Amino acid sequence: MSTKTPKLPKLLNSKIYKTGQTRGADDDVIYQNRVNRNNTVLIPYAFFNNCINETIEENFYEKGFIALISPEEYFETKGIDDILAEQNLKIGKNALIFYYSRNQWNKYNPHTLKMKPATSRTNPLGGHYVARVPATTSADDKKISEGFNTSSLKGAGIRVYEYANSKTIKECRTQLEYIYWNCIDSEEVSKEMGMTDEEIKLRIESNSKKAKKEGLADIKKLIEKRIINNNGNTICPLCLEEISAGGFYSKVLQAEGREVSDLTVTQLNLFHIDELRTGVFNHKPYNLGWGHHHCNVVTKDSGIEETLKWMKSVIERNEKEGFTIS
C-alpha cells in the first residue's frame, strides 16, 4: 500500500498553486483576472507574427487565441479582410476589432456600423469587436465597456506573454516546490507551520523523486540561472541573498502610518529570471525562482541584467557626487 503524500502548509501550497495563474486585472481592461495561464490568449495584431509562426503553431495555445486589431488598421487598410485571411484570421472567428480610445469610438462607432460586441472566447466569437474606452472629464463621455463584461464572461482572455500550457504549469509547480525545500531553513519553518518531521521527510522525498524524474532537479542549471547558489541553497535571483523559508509566510513590512489592513503580499514572491515579453514564453522551468518582494518590484519588466546595470549606474553617480554608501 502506497503512502499518501502529505500536504504542504496551506499558505505555501496556495502560493505555489497561484504561480500557474495570471496577474490581476480590473474591469477597465480586457484581460481575465487571475485565471490559469493556459486560457485563451489575446494577441495584439502588431505582434501576431511573433506569436504565430513556423515555430509557434496555432494549436500551441491549448484554448485558442484572439487577435486584436485596432479600428484604424482595420478600417483604413485596403483589402484588410484578404490580408487577415492570408494569416488564417477572420473578424468574429479568431480576431476582433479592439476599441480603446474615445477618438476610435467616435470615428468608427461600431453601433453606427451595425457591429456586435463579442460574446464568446472560442470560435465563433459571437461578434466583431470589444471595447474598453475610459471616461473623460466631459459629462457625456462616460466609460465604454462592451464585450466580455458580464459576471459570467469577464475578460476576453489573458496577456499572451503570460501563457504556459498545462504541462508546463505543472512542471513549474513541481520545480518551485523543489526550490522551496532548498531554502536554508525550509524543514524548520515547515515544522513551525504545522508539518511533522515524518510529513516533511515524505514530502521532500516525493517532490525530489518527481523533480528528478521530470528533469527539474538539475543543480548546475539552477546555479547558472541564479536560483540556488554553489552551496545548494535557494537565493533571491537579483540580490543573491540566501532565502529564509519564513518569507513565504510573512507579509512585507509597511511604512508606519501607511499600513493597509488587507495586504496579502508576502516577503517572497515568484521571480522570472528572464522577464516575460511578447513572442517569448518565459514562464517555464529553470526560469522561475523565489525572490524578495522588493527585488521583484525593482526588476519589474526590465530583467535582471538591465536592472543590475541600472543599479551600478546609480551607485557610480552617487559616488561621483561625493555620496558614500556605508
Tell me the C-alpha to C-alpha distance, in Å, between residue 143 and each of 28, 109, 263: 9, 14, 29
The pLDDT score that the predictor gives to residue 2 is: 61
Nearest CA to 219 out of 209, 206, 230 is that of 230
CA distance 113 to 71: 12
Residue 253 has pLDDT above 70, yes or no: no
Average confidence (pLDDT) over 212-236: 98
The pLDDT score that the predictor gives to residue 10 is: 95
Residues 19 and 26: beta-carbon distance below 8 Å? no
The pLDDT score that the predictor gives to residue 256 is: 45
**Percentage of residues of the chain with pLDDT beyond 90:** 84
The pLDDT score that the predictor gives to residue 42 is: 97
Residues 252 and 265: beta-carbon distance below 8 Å? yes
pLDDT-derived band at 312, boundaries 50, 70, 90: very high
Q: How does pLDDT run across 95-152, given as a tens digit for each residue?
A: 999 999 999 999 999 999 999 999 999 999 999 999 999 998 777 789 999 999 998 8
pLDDT-derived band at 183, boundaries 50, 70, 90: very high
Nearest CA to 118 out of 100, 145, 151 is that of 145
Average confidence (pLDDT) over 180-197: 97
Cell numbers that stand for 216 in this block = 527539474
The pLDDT score that the predictor gives to residue 326 is: 75
- Cα atoms in the Cβ-side hemisphere of radius 13 Å centred on 16: 19
Residue 177 has pLDDT above 80, yes or no: yes
Sorted by where each begins, the domain ranges of the chain are: 26-162, 166-312
CA distance 25 to 228: 32
Residue 260 has pLDDT above 70, yes or no: no
Average confidence (pLDDT) over 18-43: 95
Q: What is the DSSP string of 45-110?
A: GGGHHHHSSSSS-GGGSTT-EEEEE-HHHHHHSTTHHHHHHHTT--BTTTEEEEE-SHHHHHHT-T
Average pLDDT, the chain: 92
Higher-pLDDT residue of 301, 37: 37
Average confidence (pLDDT) over 53-74: 90
CA distance 163 to 281: 7
